[in-house]
Copies of this chain bind each other. A is one copy, B any other.
Amino acid sequence: MEQGARGAVRDVLDKALAEGRTALTAPEGRGICQAYGIATPGEGLATSAGQAEELAAEIGFPVVLKIVSPDILHKTDAGGVLVGLKTAEEVRDGFDRILANAQAYDPDARIDGVQVQRLVGGGHEVIVGAVTDPTFGKVVAFGLGGVLVEVLKDVTFRLAPVSGDEALGMLDDIKAAEVLRGARGAEPADRRALAELIERVSRLVTDFPEISEVDLNPVFADARGAVAADVRILIGEPPQEVNRLPREEILRQMTRIFKPRSVAVIGASAEDGKIGNSVMRNLINGGYAGQIFPINPKAPEIMGLPAYRSIADVPHDVDVAVFAIPAKFVPSALEDAGSKGVAGAIMIPSGFAETGNVEGQKEIVEIARRHGVRMLGPNIYGYYYTPENLCATFCTPYDVKGSVALTSQSGGIGMAILGFSRTTKMGVSAIVGVGNKADVDEDDLLTFFEQDDNTKAVAMHLEDLKDGRGFVDAARRVVREKPVIVLKAGRTAMGARAAGSHTGALAGDDKVYDDILRQAGVVRAPGLNDMLEYARALPILPAPKGENVVIITGAGGSGVLLSDACVDAGLTLMDIPPDLDQAFRAFIPPFGAAGNPVDITGGEPPSTYQNTVRLGLSDDRIHALVLGYWHTIVTPPMVFAELVARVVAEEREKGNVKPVVASLAGDTEVEEASEYLFEHGVVAYPYTTEKPVAVLGAKYRWARAAGLLG
């Protein structure tokens, strides 16, 4: 926005702030809109009935009259609004009536006059607004007005500022999107104009952080443009700037933490059952190849390694200090570790903010910051990084190397990650507890995983974000190369916060999170088990190259359920062209059904599965396969599994690399067959048609976000 516009807004805000106000008057709001190129209906301020009459004649009937008073926020309640006045006489009478109503409503209210405004209407009634979100800062909102937004909460949010294209995307991101395109014979809205209006609002709140909420409600949008009929602007303290470290700095420290040359265990113990003992054991038995320095003021040696009274006494550089001592001893030990120059303090101890000891937590954050130490936790189980055989945790060791990094904000969820990983043999690169997130948080970890060649996917359980924008920035970068799966807990809590505007009232925590995580390209998992399954499956599935999904099934019943699941997962069942249909038909019985699903019918020999799967993999127009297997004597489960694994491998050799998932319906042998398939790169599950398709859907969501599908 050019200097003049900014100056005009600055003047209005300064005046209102100087007067200690938190809301702007309607004319002030209109002035700001004008400065930012947001159209408002013709209007003026009248301080007498005669002046109102003159103004109305000037801007054209019909008009609306509205009380202007800094003390009256809810104008309608105060009888301060009259709509559709068509004659000079009605305007004169209306002026007097409004003044009388306002005085009756609040005799002490300062009355600045009555706003005379051209009555606008027609076209589509929409709402555009902005709020200051505690997690994400300035956020812009769009929805259709009236019942749709207020009763059905059909609204969408984005981080401000938005680009024109992002704003256009918002128009399509509400359930009733069709309406603006002219559903039911209505006139379509001028989408460009509406998007531009959203963009301008987003720029306004970005330029002026002290604007806490904006409500343009309603905005009338038709084929000729978009006009904000009512403007409401709240002001307040600008949100605090978040202090972010430079990416290189984060990376340098995180690399020392995940790939340390040496680890000190503060509170190392030889006594079974102690946390400091478990940590020592896991480091040693896990096979960590760097140096391990037990720190214990009383023991000269622990588990065969020389122990030191203090980390200060260690005669080598130390990259990581794992804390396994009670909270009260942490500050001085952390001072020592900081002086020693450690990169990371792994703060296992509890007894900080989570038990109400907020001051204690502040103290250690301050110590860590002063020394440039990055702190993980406190109140965590520690972390695993399998490429370095590093189990810096008091939990049981885990050593199945693989390519997914998992993090959790809760220890319980961390334990579930561990148990699930072990039982499904999920290969992981890292498991990290972030606990109270007093310092290191998800965006620090994403910054490391982004460039970590051992990590091909990231899955994060989180309850909140300390720095929503930092997370979005990091996630956007990572998502270009690797899926980021997020389980955001507290979905339904809907912390309906006290809000002074419509937009504010709509900005329930979860809706904002949901829209902005999607905007960041993150794959959100609906529940814990989904997160775990996505984490297990996404790294082994190749990325699809297009949207055409084909179901090949031996059981018609599974085919129907798999189709249901595809629609649920937002997948596109390919419309099979006639020649391809013909090609499938050549392999299946005459009473089988080609089309999609391709129903090869039950009781078919292995060759039928083999031929159809091979065709599905080799035809370029097909981008992903969903297989439905039905247990029969003719093609037993392991025969199916082996043939599918073989055909998939052969076709991959030929360059036909596509995601393949399978649902196995049958007796218990299908469990072994599913495991075999999983080990051979085909995501397969027994007794469920939903799970394999949900996983494929998650892979597609990522592929779209990464721009792989054009």
Mark A residues whose CB is within 8 Å of B.
144, 146-148, 150-152, 154, 175-176, 178-179, 183-184, 273, 350, 354-356, 395-396, 408-413, 415-416, 418-420, 422-423, 461, 463, 487, 489-493, 526-530, 532, 553-558, 560-561, 563-565, 567-568, 589, 591, 602-603, 628, 630-631, 633, 665-671, 686-691
**Choice from B350, B561, B633 contacting A273 with Cβ under 8 Å:** B633
Q: How far, in whole Å, are A408 and B418 apart by their CA atoms in the complex?
A: 37
Q: Least Cβ distance of A187 to chain B in Å?
A: 14
Q: Does A422 contact B630, Cβ atoms closer than 8 Å? A: no
Q: How far, in whole Å, are A554 and B411 apart by their CA atoms in the complex?
A: 10
Q: Least Cβ distance of A150 to chain B in Å?
A: 6
Q: Least Cβ distance of A502 to chain B in Å?
A: 11
Task: Give the chain B neighbours of A530 by CB distance below 8 A.
Answer: 690
Task: Give the chain B neighbours of A528 by CB distance below 8 A.
Answer: 561, 687-690
**Choice from B415, B463, B630, B633 contacting A412 with Cβ under 8 Å:** B630
Q: How far, in whole Å, are A154 and B515 apart by their CA atoms in the complex?
A: 23
Give the number of copies in the complex. 2
Closest to A494 in B: B567
Task: Give the chain B neighbours of A555 by CB distance below 8 A.
Answer: 410-413, 415
**Choice from B354, B410, B628 contacting A591 with Cβ under 8 Å:** B354
Q: Least Cβ distance of A195 to chain B in Å?
A: 20
Task: Give the chain B neighbours of A560 by CB distance below 8 A.
Answer: 410, 463, 489-490, 493
Closest to A556 in B: B410
Q: Does B665 contact A557, Cβ atoms closer than 8 Å? A: no
Closest to A491 in B: B564
Task: Give the chain B neighbours of A179 by CB distance below 8 A.
Answer: 147, 151
Assess A184 versus B147: contact at CB under 8 Å? Given A491-B564, A560-B463, A687-B416: yes
Interchain residue pairs with CB less than 8 A apart (6)? A147-B183, A151-B178, A151-B184, A273-B633, A491-B567, A528-B688
Q: Does B557 contact A490, Cβ atoms closer than 8 Å? A: no
Assess A564 versus B665: contact at CB under 8 Å? Given A411-B557, A591-B355: no
Closest to A687 in B: B420
Q: Least Cβ distance of A271 to chain B in Å?
A: 13
Q: How far, in whole Å, are A150 and B178 apart by their CA atoms in the complex?
A: 10
Task: Give the chain B neighbours of A556 by CB distance below 8 A.
Answer: 354, 410, 412
Q: Does B670 contact A419, Cβ atoms closer than 8 Å? A: yes
Q: Does A423 contact B671, Cβ atoms closer than 8 Å? A: yes
Task: Give the chain B neighbours of A554 by CB distance below 8 A.
Answer: 412
